Structure 1
């Protein structure tokens, strides 16, 4: 199939899924899309098992889609930029320390806790998983996915402070998580030496370099926005910032996600408030909101379809269940410890810890990183358990998040 035919098929599925969800299910949009495509995939697998359908055509279609490339070097820049545009600096400043600690030490702590528990679990179910690869799973599953989190938070009706705390943490821990993942991947494949100075230098270069590049290009774009009054050109400038800047970040080997979040914050605050007319601001918001909704729908349709090409055995299901428990355990500790350190008064605030734990959804980014692993026995274990955790996170945590607010919010 051609690229246009694949795109047309995915957009058609997205439109049909969006209509059915809006008309009958009325789930949050991302959950409805994923549930729709996952149900289609399950029906196709069942019909193939019964001999009533040849799944080879559907498998070939899904196999042609490089999910990891499409997300990590395509959709991610747009989705993160759209999310960062609406995080206010003043609101972020009020929760800067909890967000900073959760997005750094929290991600690292969760990586080791989750990875270690999954390593033990793999041994229990008879699967051989090297400890570094278990940590690699911990790294790719620990960051909460801003794409999933922000879209559900917008429909949850929570306070602005909670929205900023959960949303900003998910935006920043996403970038840190990718850096930790790449570092451990380099160690696991032998591309990096296990030396503190080497690992520290890589982390600083990726994270700090991405932030500096985002500030620089975001400021330049802000100055350009301020010098004209044409909403069409100004929207194009923000598109260039999200796409061209992301390419530059890749070429400079700095963190693209951290770059795009930083650039989005600069434009979303200085650009929108001081560099645009009211008309431009309205049109820009409408454009990025629509693009965000469309790409979110496409992304979660793709996640649901991926089950067709992922081999899942009984051992994977058992380990996947253990991985769900490990991820939630790692999240509780990695959230609870930093909160008690930064805000001692919240040490016993089980509601806040519970909210950040249950609201910490995993999504397409984790699957994309799992798909980016080099082929081998480790990938055949990590990929299916990642998919199981993501399914649970979106379909169970996501669906129950709003109803849990009555118990978790004072």
Structure 2
């Protein structure tokens, strides 16, 4: 991707976000992805290539940091049981149920081994609501619902990477992974990432007041977002969870005092521009990239898998909310439908394509996954606002 590509994509993103400012509940992800698919037909854009390393190391850290530091700690504490449950045990249950369902249904379409079915399921379980959170707030006015969706998506990104990595190893080396080693690695990566993020966040919170120049403070926030990620990954921990926990440390500090309000306003101004720019490029590139893997032969199976992701997600959410005595059918449906597939799923797909041995099975998983992500981004983002208004009877 050249500088001229980036400038043009940013300008297209500016036009789309400008329309978004004038229309409520505008499905930005769907529009950008569709425009990206259109751009793929233009020779100038067809040679754009984005690797899994670029998405993971450049796009994901700042996007997660923005969500985390803007995420109110009160919202997390109030809904912590459901958020943590869905992002850990819930994600594992979704992966197992979805993988089993794909394996069974696959016998009618593509014959996928059980490990391959679970690998496909692990790609499609992480959620990435992005602008859907703001749509939910506008359509329902319910912040608890939005906090649950956003909190789950921040944490389950880290969980999904650990699960996917273990399953990919199991697929390539069937005898190298045991349940004991899986859970040991899971705890190590999960806890280590959070610890690194908390330490980095605590350090930054305590040194912010030593520099009153806003530009230097913004530089420090960039160091925190990328530094916590890089250090955690270096030691084999979850960089995703490190970024999230460091951002939430900042959020916690903001909630305790008004002394650093000027820092918060500077952060908002800078990182909101970064967020919009990255989202514009990311979703346009997803649209450009996905067209290479679309096959007519995948449509039927991908459609069934997409429906299965919704059904399985609803079942797990229903069980979790029932156990926590917070069951509400309308909310369960909205939380289910708000779980879009996005940047993390695309990163996992590209990782699979780069690291796994090429073959019919891997090609099928990559093609089906991309098509399900496309269905999710377009169908769910276009319909979440009207569904929310209908279910909660808000005009």
TM-score w.r.t. length of structure 2: 0.91
* Correspondence for 1:358: 337
Q: 1:187 aligns with which of 162, 170, 173?
A: 170
Residues in 2 aligned to 1:22 and 1:281: alpha-carbon distance in whole angstroms: 23
* Correspondence for 1:69: 53
Q: Is 2:203 aligned against 1:203?
A: no
Residues in 2 aligned to 1:250 and 1:8: alpha-carbon distance in whole angstroms: 30
* Correspondence for 1:78: 62
Residues in 2 aligned to 1:372 and 1:151: alpha-carbon distance in whole angstroms: 30
* Correspondence for 2:31: 32
* Unaligned ranges ≥5, structure 1: 45-54
Q: 1:342 aligns with which of 317, 324, 333?
A: 324
* Correspondence for 2:350: 371
* Unaligned ranges ≥5, structure 2: none
Q: Is 2:146 aligned against 1:163?
A: yes
* Correspondence for 1:283: 266
Q: What displacement does 1:228 show?
A: 2.6
* Correspondence for 1:51: none
> Secondary structure, in 3 states, of the residue corresponding to 2:295?
coil
Q: For 1:11-410, what aligned pairs fall within 5 Å after superposition?
A: 11-18=10-17, 27-41=26-40, 44=41, 58-59=45-46, 61-62=47-48, 64-66=49-51, 68-125=52-109, 127-147=110-130, 149-150=132-133, 152-153=135-136, 155-156=138-139, 158-190=141-173, 193-271=176-254, 273-274=256-257, 277-314=260-297, 316-343=298-325, 346=327, 349-373=328-352, 374=356, 375-409=358-392
**Is the CA contact (8 Å cut-off) linking 1:225 and 1:234 kept in structure 2?**
yes
Residues in 2 aligned to 1:82 and 1:24: alpha-carbon distance in whole angstroms: 23
> Secondary structure, in 3 states, of the residue corresponding to 2:70?
coil
Residues in 1 aligned to 2:16 and 2:79: alpha-carbon distance in whole angstroms: 37
**Is the CA contact (8 Å cut-off) linking 1:225 and 1:276 kept in structure 2?**
no
- Residues 183-231 of structure 1, C-alpha deviations (whole Å, 9 max, x = no match): 1111111187232221111101111110111101110111111333221
Structure 1 residues 146 and 249 mapped into 2: Cα distance closer, same or farther (>3 Å)? farther
- Residues 348-377 of structure 1, C-alpha deviations (whole Å, 9 max, x = no match): x22121111111111121122011112332
**Is the CA contact (8 Å cut-off) linking 1:148 and 1:363 kept in structure 2?**
no
Q: What displacement does 1:104 show?
A: 0.9
**Is the CA contact (8 Å cut-off) linking 1:21 and 1:33 kept in structure 2?**
no
Structure number with greater CO (CA < 8 Å, separation at least 6) is 2
Structure 1 residues 350 and 93 mapped into 2: Cα distance closer, same or farther (>3 Å)? same
> Secondary structure, in 3 states, of the residue corresponding to 2:293?
coil
Residues in 1 aligned to 2:349 and 2:12: alpha-carbon distance in whole angstroms: 24
Residues in 1 aligned to 2:182 and 2:130: alpha-carbon distance in whole angstroms: 28
Q: How many residues align?
A: 389
- Residues 53-82 of structure 1, C-alpha deviations (whole Å, 9 max, x = no match): xx77644x13x322x222111100000000
**Is the CA contact (8 Å cut-off) linking 2:140 and 2:389 kept in structure 1?**
no
Residues in 2 aligned to 1:98 and 1:272: alpha-carbon distance in whole angstroms: 22
The CA RMSD over aligned residues, in Å, is 2.4
**Is the CA contact (8 Å cut-off) linking 2:37 and 2:291 kept in structure 1?**
no
Q: What displacement does 1:270 show?
A: 0.6
- Residues 229-273 of structure 1, C-alpha deviations (whole Å, 9 max, x = no match): 221111111100111221111111111111111011001221575
Residues in 2 aligned to 1:280 and 1:303: alpha-carbon distance in whole angstroms: 33
